[in-house]
Amino acid sequence: MLSFFREGNRRDGSARSGEGPAPQPSAALQQMAGRLKTIERPNLLDLGPLCGGNIQFFASQGCRVFVEAAEDLRRLPRPAPTPAVTRTTGQHLAAGVALDRSRIPAAAPVAGQGSAIAVAEQRIAFSYPNAHFDGILLWDVADYLLDARAKELGQEMGRLCRGGALLLMFSDARKQPAVEPLLRYRLTDAGAVLLEPFAGAPIVRIARENRDLFRLFEGFEVVKCTLLRNQLREILLQSRS
């Protein structure tokens, strides 16, 4: 069952800058932790930067925690936008140049083609077997992937999840997200979420409406979607398989 509501009575405890009120408990996280407690030795996959507090929190719930922090998926190269060249037609006029309104795409620069093609040919895939995890912490990875890549990620998450497995993610709800530092989602001993700026160059998020975001995860149903005071959506998905 989908639960969607706005957090109107409390602060999220994690300003975008990493400064602000103390971290607050996450309802979606607590729901996930509660379900994992009912499973004997559940497997949990964390796709965020390495964070000892996160490992400790879920290990204390009896989970076997797997962390994929060697490569930050949020920093996968994006294909450069294809520039457009305006074609001139007609004669030069006293007031300027007569132009047709058609635009023809220019070829990508040769220097950038090699890496772009290599990235396009690589699939997001993990070496774990099918149906291996009872929970996945996706954090905000999908916000930094173009649709084709994000859909690929959603399919891979579906492959890795056991039936009924839960996936926790965060996504920016703003129509035009600003270019801001990447975030690390750090859990406290009490299971509250604290957002911290993460090292590296800032990257702009990709804005998506709820329906467009959920469409990327076709193998899942939405359990909970909460709009936080800092305009992040906290989303809990459950595998259908």
Distance CA 109, CA 165 (A): 44
pLDDT in tens, 162-210: 999 999 999 999 999 989 999 999 998 888 899 999 888 899 999 999 9
Domains parsed from the chain with CATH numbers: 3-73+120-239 (3.40.50.150)
pLDDT at 120 > cutoff 60: no
Alpha-carbon gap, residue 4 to 65, rounded angstroms:
29
Residue 121: pLDDT band with limits 50, 70, 90:
low
For residue 144, give the 3-state DSSP assignment: helix
- Which comes out higher in pLDDT, residue 119 or 140? 140
Pairs from 118-122 (Cβ < 8 Å, separation ≥ 24): 119/76, 119/77, 119/79, 120/79
Pairwise CA distance, residues 188 & 86, whole Å? 55
pLDDT at 211 over 90: yes
Which tokens is 189 given?
């001993």
176 strand-pairing partners: none
Q: How much is the pTM?
A: 0.76
Over residues 218-230, the mean pLDDT reads 93
Check whether 2 has a pLDDT greater than 90: no
3-state secondary structure 140-186: CHHHHCCHHHHHHHHHHHHHHEEEEEEEEEEEECCCCCCEECCEEEE
**Rounded (5°) CA angle 207-229-37:** 90
